[in-house]
Amino acid sequence: MQTLLIALGAGVLYLIAYHTYGKYLARKIFKLDESAIVPSVALNDDKDYVPTDKGIIFGHHFTSIAGTGPIVGPALAVIWGWVPALLWVLFGSILIGAVHDFGSLVVSVRNRGQTVGDIAGRMLTKRTRLLFLSILFMALTIVLAIFGLVIANVFDLYPSAIFPCLVQIPIAILIGVSLHRKGINILIPSAIALGVMYVSIAFSDWGIFHVVNHTLGGEPQVLNDGLSLFSWVLVLLVYSYVASVLPVWTLLQPRDFINSLQLLSALALVVLGLGVAAFIGGAPIASETSRTSLEIVAPAFRWAPEGAPWIFPFLFITIACGAISGFHCLVSSGTSSKQIKCETDAQFVGYGSMLTEGFLATLVILACVAGIGLGAASADSGILTGSAAYDARYSSWFTAQGLGAKIGAFIEGAANFLRALGLPSVFSVALMGVFVASFAATTLDTACRLQRYVIQELASTFVSPSDLEEGTRAGGPFHWLTNKHGATIFAIITAGFIAAIPLPGSPWGWETAGKGGLILWPLFGATNQLLGGLAFLVITFWMWRRNLPVYFVAIPTVFMLILPGLAMGIELFKPNGWFALEQWHLVFIGIATLALEIWMVVEAALAWPRAKGTLEEALEPLGPVAVPESDGGRSC
């Protein structure tokens, strides 16, 4: 019953936060105006700037920001006990994460849909634009590498998830083209697509479904017996390239909307199953007839697990997306701000999506510390229950093959909730595998599109404006990176190199590539959280220049600049850290990120005294927009 009360209490807390603190920010601080002209309408280009209903944007935004961050992060963090992880998720998402996402979205909408990196150059100093974009490039490279590895692990360990994820792509393109040309309602075809996905999951061991899954993924729970991890990464990066260069309505929007329906329906089933398990227990295991009672089997606090980093500051950067994520500012300012068709939609999209992600992270924690106790497979001991199931996954930082095992803790724990409803075990595991892979895939293609923007903006800094004109081939070695195809190719090549990292001490090779994914997580968490601190810095300056209250963003800004910098410094210089292990790729990224952070903070400190009440250089205003008669004279 304790598990159910935690889930219900978290849901109620998030609803209260949305209708109190979120509404206060929207009305009193940001003063959202439904009659304001927005970039998606004024700059509509039918590719990136596309006015879109808030329900569809929510689907894109939520699935893009969530990814596997709120899954892998909390699934790793419960190694320090469930109480610290839960507290950080609950209060971090409400007071820090949702404010960060909401603020980034509003500031971008008020600045012609510019990315946070571009806005930084106007809010602070011109040099900070280049500094911020450089940090964005490194952070997004890690995001692409990490999320590609997560999907690869899911497909290899849970091959029944492969076909449902692949079939999304052609269906999404068909829906996108039909919606764009004929203006049909997206809900009905997306619901049909969702039904096709569920059918392919239910019959994953039948016919073409089994052939595809078995050929590409091999046997369940066996690594590298189908396509190797790195082969999957390469396939996923090629897909990301295609998704990145297509107009958003072709694949990105419809696939994200389908995924949002799948993810929200799966979340609803998990919550329902959790409730059933709380009252009558989990499904009987194997030949047993009794139901296992649901209880938290993990310790409340565990200060020094074997091989794990220190709980402070690493708990805060390990959970990452479940509480606060710098990557979210890129989604808010890179894609969502270009699709918002009414300013007042920003609270629902920005603040609401982050609270939904916080609730997801809460369920992940409960699945890993309670759901897994209802039964988890072990290669050595068969099916384990209770605390033994938790210990099998969390006895040490690298227990049971690292990254894949921690993803498996959530998949098996959440599948146990579904089994409590009477759903078959194979279906339950496959559904949660699709859940994880779908989340990661939406983040992967969005991150690739965002990285393309960043690379193009960086490259344009070194190319003269005249050379950027269409058809001009001059401009030196950086000109090809100002093209969307060149920028995207460069993005996937750099991410592929990082993803190829083997386990510490292992040689580089095709079969070992990608197995060191877990060692990337502290780097991902640190760069990601640092990016959040820098985005907070930009939001703070935007408000400071307008004489708006900054207390609620200034405190998180300091917190999110210090913690990730401290964590990265520890990883660099501890006795068994990146320097000691000669992991030079991590050393380079870590030192470069810290140097850029310090430089940007110094620039901010120097600009702070003269920024108060002084508006930045104004952009060309968005002019009046002719609203079609079908809209009734309103864009909202």
What DSSP string describes 279-335? HH-SPPPTT--SPPPP---S-S--S--BTPPPHHHHHHHHHGGGT--THHHHHHHHT
pLDDT for the residue numbered 18: 97
Q: Do 525 and 320 meet the contact criterion of CB atoms below 8 Å apart?
A: yes
* Length in residues, the chain: 636
* Model confidence pLDDT, tens digit, residues 573-623: 888 777 887 777 778 888 988 898 898 899 899 989 988 888 888 777 776
Judge whether 45 lies within some domain: no
Kindly state the tokens that stand for 146.
Answer: 């990490």
CATH number of the domain residue 268 falls in: 1.10.4160
Between helix 517-544 and helix 584-611 the angle, nearest 10°, is: 10
pLDDT for the residue numbered 184: 66
Kindly state the tokens that stand for 564.
Answer: 């990730």
Between helix 126-157 and helix 403-419 the angle, nearest 10°, is: 60
Residue stretches of the chain with pLDDT short of 50: 400-401, 471, 626-634
- Looking at the DSSP assignment, which residues form a beta bridge with residue 306? 396
Amino acid sitting at position 239 = Y
Q: Do 2 and 296 meet the contact criterion of CB atoms below 8 Å apart?
A: yes
Judge whether 61 lies within some domain: yes
Kindly state the tokens that stand for 109.
Answer: 């909408």
pLDDT for the residue numbered 476: 63
Q: Report the run of H or E that residue 377 belongs to, with start and end.
A: strand 376-378
Q: Do 42 and 623 meet the contact criterion of CB atoms below 8 Å apart?
A: yes
Judge whether 175 lies within some domain: yes
Q: Which residues contact 208 (CB under 8 A, 6 or more apart)?
A: 163
Give the chain's end-to-end CA distance (angstroms, integer): 44
Q: Report the run of H or E that residue 245 belongs to, with start and end.
A: helix 229-245
- Looking at the DSSP assignment, which residues form a beta bridge with residue 376? 384
pLDDT for the residue numbered 288: 63
Judge whether 291 lies within some domain: no
Give the residue numbers spanning the domain of 576: 2-30+51-284+317-631
Q: Do 578 and 590 meet the contact criterion of CB atoms below 8 Å apart?
A: yes
Q: Which residues contact 239 (CB under 8 A, 6 or more apart)?
A: 169, 444, 445
Q: What share of the chain is helix, strand, coil (3-state, %, to 5)?
A: 70, 0, 30
* Model confidence pLDDT, tens digit, residues 511-534: 777 666 666 766 777 888 888 999
Q: How far is CA 625 from the centre of its chain?
A: 34
- Token pair 């039918």 is found at 46
Q: Do 596 and 131 meet the contact criterion of CB atoms below 8 Å apart?
A: yes
- How far apart, in whole angstroms, are the C-alpha atoms of residue 366 and residue 295? 10
Q: Do 484 and 456 meet the contact criterion of CB atoms below 8 Å apart?
A: yes
- How far apart, in whole angstroms, are the C-alpha atoms of residue 385 and residue 284? 11
- How far apart, in whole angstroms, are the C-alpha atoms of residue 518 and residue 503? 9
- How far apart, in whole angstroms, are the C-alpha atoms of residue 272 and residue 409? 19
Phi/psi for 619 (5° steps) reads -85, 165
Phi/psi for 88 (5° steps) reads -65, -40
- How far apart, in whole angstroms, are the C-alpha atoms of residue 558 and residue 542? 16
**477: three-class secondary structure by DSSP:** helix
Dihedral over Cα of 213, 215, 216, 219: its sign:
positive
Q: How many domains does the chain have?
A: 1
Phi/psi for 124 (5° steps) reads -105, -95
Q: Do 633 and 627 meet the contact criterion of CB atoms below 8 Å apart?
A: yes
- How far apart, in whole angstroms, are the C-alpha atoms of residue 444 and residue 138? 15
- For the entire predicted model, the pTM comes to 0.86
- How far apart, in whole angstroms, are the C-alpha atoms of residue 334 and residue 454? 9
Phi/psi for 396 (5° steps) reads -150, 170
Characterize 573-595 residue by residue with b for buried, 16 or more Cβ atoms within 10 angstroms of its Cβ, and e for exposed: eeeebbbeeebeebbebbeebbe
Judge whether 583 lies within some domain: yes
- How far apart, in whole angstroms, are the C-alpha atoms of residue 128 and residue 116? 11
Q: Do 523 and 586 meet the contact criterion of CB atoms below 8 Å apart?
A: yes
* Model confidence pLDDT, tens digit, residues 365-398: 999 999 998 877 665 666 878 888 888 888 887 7
* Model confidence pLDDT, tens digit, residues 49-58: 889 888 888 8
Judge whether 43 lies within some domain: no
pLDDT for the residue numbered 222: 67
Q: How far is CA 204 from the centre of its chain?
A: 27
Measuring CA to CA, which residue among 23, 89, 39, 531 is closest to residue 354? 89
Measuring CA to CA, which residue among 73, 244, 150, 243 is closest to residue 437? 150
